[in-house]
Amino acid sequence: MGPAVPVSLCLHEAEGLEILLKAKDPDADYLFNHALVQDAIYATLMTPQRRALHARVAAALEALYAGRADDIAETLANHFALAEIPEKTILYCAIAGKKNLQVFSLKVADVYFVQAVEQMARHRIDMNPEFTDNVRADWLEVMQWSADFERTITIFEPRLPQFKRIGQTSRYAQILALFGIAYVQQYRYVEAEPLLQGALQAGHGLLLWQVY
């Protein structure tokens, strides 16, 4: 193997060949001249090389955006997923999902929450219970705002007992209410009634606790 070539020299040569262009984006130095060129170069990399490069990029971005990594959660989620680092993928998918939920970008939020939940299941990763419950609750909220009531019931009905560990909190009351509404929208009133009553009781109990 010959001596290492400085990165700056490689970039200068690639720019001279019009493979790369100087970027106008302040967050980037160079861009590929064409997406097809990028895809062709990427395709020449072996899978282990790809994973390693994505891991290095993700680690560099985390360090660069220390304290504000949430700002680029989507980018980090993508790189960690391609690097096949599930714990970090789950973390940043959850953050990206929450961010998009807050601005009502519901389809994008759904994609990230699906990926987070699938990664937890596929790799059998037990995240912090509070973290896991919040991911599922946020995903549930996305489905409710999307009026995807049938899917809400299909996915979350088996998981309802797991939410009980949240305890008598406003979050738990919200979850029960959202479930109840989903059943009402599907004309399943018998199943909706105990959930809505439970939401009222949880909310009432929380109110009394705050008063006293």
Q: Which of 53, 49, 72, 52 is nearest to 62 (CA)?
A: 72
Rounded to 10 degrees, what is the CA torsion of 132, 135, 141, 143?
A: -100
Does pTM top 0.75 for this prediction? Answer: yes
Query: Under a CB-based contact definition with an 8 Å cutoff, are residues 80 and 59 in contact?
Result: no
Lookup result for tokens 């304290």 = 67
Which pLDDT tens digit goes with each residue over 35-63? 888 888 878 878 889 999 999 999 999 99
CA distance 49 to 94: 27
Lowest-confidence segment of 38-47, 111-120, 129-138, 147-156 by average pLDDT: 38-47
| Residues 165 and 172: beta-carbon distance below 8 Å | no
Cα–Cα nearest to 146, from 177, 180, 113, 101: 101
**158's torsion region: left (phi>0), alpha (psi -120 to 50) or beta?**
alpha
Query: What's the pLDDT tens digit per position in 139-191?
Result: 999 999 999 999 999 999 998 888 877 777 788 888 899 999 999 999 999 99
**pLDDT in the model for residue 23:** 79
